[in-house]
Amino acid sequence: MRVAPRILSLLDRVNPPAPVHAHCDLPCGIYDPAQARIEAESVKACMEKYAGSNDADFRNRAVFIKEERAELVKHHLWVLWTDYFKPDHLKSYPQLHELFWKATKAAGDAKKTNDTAVAQQLLDQIAEIDKIFWATKKA
Protein backbone atom coordinates (compact mmCIF):
# COMPACT_ATOMS: atom_id res chain seq x y z
CA MET A 1 0.00 0.00 0.00
CA ARG A 2 1.34 3.39 -0.97
CA VAL A 3 0.79 6.32 1.37
CA ALA A 4 0.54 9.82 -0.08
CA PRO A 5 3.39 12.18 0.93
CA ARG A 6 0.96 14.61 2.61
CA ILE A 7 -0.38 11.84 4.83
CA LEU A 8 3.18 10.85 5.82
CA SER A 9 3.92 14.46 6.68
CA LEU A 10 0.82 14.62 8.85
CA LEU A 11 1.71 11.30 10.52
CA ASP A 12 5.21 12.58 11.25
CA ARG A 13 3.73 15.61 12.98
CA VAL A 14 1.35 13.52 15.06
CA ASN A 15 3.92 10.84 15.89
CA PRO A 16 7.38 12.29 15.11
CA PRO A 17 10.17 9.83 14.40
CA ALA A 18 12.65 9.37 17.25
CA PRO A 19 15.98 11.13 16.69
CA VAL A 20 19.05 8.94 16.36
CA HIS A 21 22.61 9.90 17.17
CA ALA A 22 25.88 8.55 15.81
CA HIS A 23 29.27 10.12 15.19
CA CYS A 24 29.00 9.01 11.55
CA ASP A 25 26.05 8.87 9.16
CA LEU A 26 25.38 5.19 10.01
CA PRO A 27 26.39 3.18 13.02
CA CYS A 28 30.05 2.21 12.78
CA GLY A 29 31.10 -0.90 11.05
CA ILE A 30 30.43 0.07 7.45
CA TYR A 31 33.61 2.07 6.87
CA ASP A 32 36.97 0.47 6.17
CA PRO A 33 40.06 1.71 4.30
CA ALA A 34 40.40 -1.84 2.95
CA GLN A 35 38.07 -0.91 0.09
CA ALA A 36 40.47 1.78 -1.09
CA ARG A 37 43.46 -0.52 -0.57
CA ILE A 38 41.94 -3.33 -2.64
CA GLU A 39 41.26 -0.96 -5.53
CA ALA A 40 44.78 0.50 -5.23
CA GLU A 41 46.22 -3.01 -5.37
CA SER A 42 44.25 -3.53 -8.58
CA VAL A 43 45.71 -0.30 -9.97
CA LYS A 44 49.23 -1.56 -9.31
CA ALA A 45 48.45 -5.02 -10.70
CA CYS A 46 47.08 -3.48 -13.91
CA MET A 47 50.28 -1.46 -14.27
CA GLU A 48 52.34 -4.61 -13.85
CA LYS A 49 50.22 -6.53 -16.37
CA TYR A 50 50.53 -3.62 -18.81
CA ALA A 51 54.32 -3.68 -18.48
CA GLY A 52 54.44 -7.44 -18.99
CA SER A 53 52.53 -7.54 -22.24
CA ASN A 54 53.18 -6.56 -25.83
CA ASP A 55 49.55 -7.10 -26.91
CA ALA A 56 48.10 -3.67 -27.73
CA ASP A 57 44.50 -4.72 -27.02
CA PHE A 58 45.46 -6.24 -23.67
CA ARG A 59 47.41 -3.14 -22.73
CA ASN A 60 44.48 -0.88 -23.65
CA ARG A 61 42.19 -2.97 -21.48
CA ALA A 62 44.70 -2.84 -18.59
CA VAL A 63 44.81 0.97 -18.82
CA PHE A 64 41.01 1.18 -18.92
CA ILE A 65 40.62 -1.03 -15.84
CA LYS A 66 43.44 0.79 -14.02
CA GLU A 67 41.72 4.15 -14.58
CA GLU A 68 38.39 2.78 -13.32
CA ARG A 69 40.03 1.37 -10.21
CA ALA A 70 41.94 4.59 -9.54
CA GLU A 71 38.65 6.48 -9.66
CA LEU A 72 37.19 3.99 -7.17
CA VAL A 73 40.17 4.58 -4.85
CA LYS A 74 39.35 8.30 -4.88
CA HIS A 75 35.70 7.53 -4.17
CA HIS A 76 36.45 5.25 -1.21
CA LEU A 77 38.95 7.71 0.25
CA TRP A 78 36.51 10.60 -0.01
CA VAL A 79 33.75 8.57 1.63
CA LEU A 80 36.07 7.92 4.57
CA TRP A 81 37.19 11.54 4.71
CA THR A 82 33.74 13.11 4.41
CA ASP A 83 31.55 10.55 6.20
CA TYR A 84 33.71 8.85 8.82
CA PHE A 85 36.41 11.24 10.02
CA LYS A 86 35.19 14.09 12.22
CA PRO A 87 36.76 17.28 13.63
CA ASP A 88 37.81 15.44 16.81
CA HIS A 89 39.82 13.00 14.68
CA LEU A 90 41.56 15.91 12.98
CA LYS A 91 42.49 17.36 16.37
CA SER A 92 44.10 14.06 17.34
CA TYR A 93 45.65 13.47 13.91
CA PRO A 94 46.41 16.86 12.33
CA GLN A 95 48.16 15.18 9.38
CA LEU A 96 44.86 13.66 8.18
CA HIS A 97 43.89 16.48 5.84
CA GLU A 98 47.23 16.47 4.02
CA LEU A 99 47.35 12.67 4.01
CA PHE A 100 43.94 12.40 2.33
CA TRP A 101 44.84 15.17 -0.09
CA LYS A 102 48.07 13.41 -1.09
CA ALA A 103 46.39 10.01 -1.37
CA THR A 104 43.59 11.25 -3.61
CA LYS A 105 46.13 13.16 -5.72
CA ALA A 106 48.19 9.95 -6.00
CA ALA A 107 45.08 8.09 -7.15
CA GLY A 108 44.58 10.77 -9.79
CA ASP A 109 48.24 10.53 -10.80
CA ALA A 110 47.90 6.74 -11.10
CA LYS A 111 45.27 7.29 -13.78
CA LYS A 112 47.85 9.17 -15.87
CA THR A 113 50.78 6.75 -15.66
CA ASN A 114 51.79 3.11 -15.63
CA ASP A 115 54.61 3.72 -13.16
CA THR A 116 54.23 1.20 -10.35
CA ALA A 117 56.13 3.54 -8.02
CA VAL A 118 53.11 5.87 -8.13
CA ALA A 119 50.83 2.96 -7.26
CA GLN A 120 53.11 1.94 -4.41
CA GLN A 121 53.11 5.50 -3.07
CA LEU A 122 49.30 5.38 -3.13
CA LEU A 123 49.30 2.06 -1.26
CA ASP A 124 51.70 3.49 1.34
CA GLN A 125 49.45 6.50 1.92
CA ILE A 126 46.40 4.29 2.26
CA ALA A 127 48.34 2.20 4.82
CA GLU A 128 48.91 5.38 6.87
CA ILE A 129 45.21 6.23 6.67
CA ASP A 130 44.42 2.66 7.71
CA LYS A 131 46.58 2.94 10.85
CA ILE A 132 44.87 6.16 11.89
CA PHE A 133 41.43 4.78 11.07
CA TRP A 134 41.90 1.74 13.32
CA ALA A 135 43.38 3.90 16.07
CA THR A 136 40.20 6.00 16.04
CA LYS A 137 38.07 2.87 16.22
CA LYS A 138 39.87 1.83 19.44
CA ALA A 139 39.37 5.24 21.03
- Residues 43-82 pLDDT 10s: 999 999 999 999 999 999 999 999 999 999 999 999 999 9
Q: Is residue 137's pLDDT more than 90?
A: no
State pLDDT tens for residues 8-37.
Answer: 566 667 777 676 555 445 555 678 999 999
Length of the chain counted residue by residue: 139
Cα radius of gyration (the chain): 20
H-type helices in the chain, by residue range? 5-14, 34-51, 56-79, 87-92, 96-111, 116-138
Q: Where are the domains of the chain?
A: 26-138
Report the alpha-carbon distance of residue 118 to residue 116 in Å, rounded.
5
CATH tag for 26-138 (out of 3.40.50.2300, 3.30.413.10, 3.60.21.10, 1.20.120.400): 1.20.120.400
CB atoms within 10 A of CB 95: 11
